[in-house]
Amino acid sequence: MNAKPLHHDSSQPAEDARKPRSDGEQSRERLLQAAMRLFGEQGFSKTSTREIAQAANANVAAISYYFGDKAGLYQACFTAICTPVENNIAMFDQPHFTLRESLQGYYRQMIEPLLAGGDADVMLRLFYREMLEPTGIWQQEIENNIKPEHMALVGVLCRHLGKKKPDDSVHRLAYAIAAMCVQMLIGRDIVAAITPHMMASPAAVAEWASHLTVFAEALVDAEKTKLQQGKA
**What's the CA gap between 79 and 4, in Å, rounded?**
10
Mean of per-residue pLDDT scores for the chain: 87
Predicted pLDDT at 118: 64
Predicted pLDDT at 4: 54
CB 150 within 8 A of CB 186: no
pLDDT in tens, 165-208: 999 999 999 999 999 999 888 888 899 899 999 988 889 999 99
Predicted pLDDT at 14: 41
Percent of the chain with pLDDT over 90: 62
Predicted pLDDT at 184: 86
Q: DSSP secondary structure string, 55-94?
A: HHT--HHHHHHHHSSHHHHHHHHHHHHBPPHHHHHHTT--
Confidence band (pLDDT; 50, 70, 90) for 1?
low
CA–chain centroid gap for 117, Å, is 14
Predicted pLDDT at 8: 40
Predicted pLDDT at 21: 52
User: How many Cβ atoms sit within 10 Å of the Cβ of residue 220?
Assistant: 21
10-19, 55-64, 65-74: range with lowest mean pLDDT: 10-19
**What's the CA gap between 175 and 113, in Å, rounded?**
19
Three-state DSSP state, 68: coil
Predicted pLDDT at 114: 80
Confidence band (pLDDT; 50, 70, 90) for 162?
very high
DSSP 144: I
User: How many Cβ atoms sit within 10 Å of the Cβ of residue 134?
Assistant: 13
| Strand ranges for the chain from DSSP E | none
> pLDDT at residue 156 above 50?
yes
Mean pLDDT to the nearest integer, 218-224 = 96
23-32, 83-92, 93-102, 221-230: range with lowest mean pLDDT: 23-32
DSSP 145: I
Q: What are phi and psi of 187, to 5 degrees?
A: -105, 25
DSSP 196: G
pTM: 0.82
pLDDT in tens, 10-53: 344 444 444 545 666 889 999 999 999 999 999 999 999 999 99
Q: Which residues of 142-154 are buried (b: 16+ CB within 10 A; e: fewer)?
A: eeebeeebbebbb
| Strand ranges for 60-218 from DSSP E | none
Q: What are phi and psi of 139, to 5 degrees?
A: -65, -40
Three-state DSSP state, 190: helix
Three-state DSSP state, 56: helix
196: amino acid identity, one letter: P
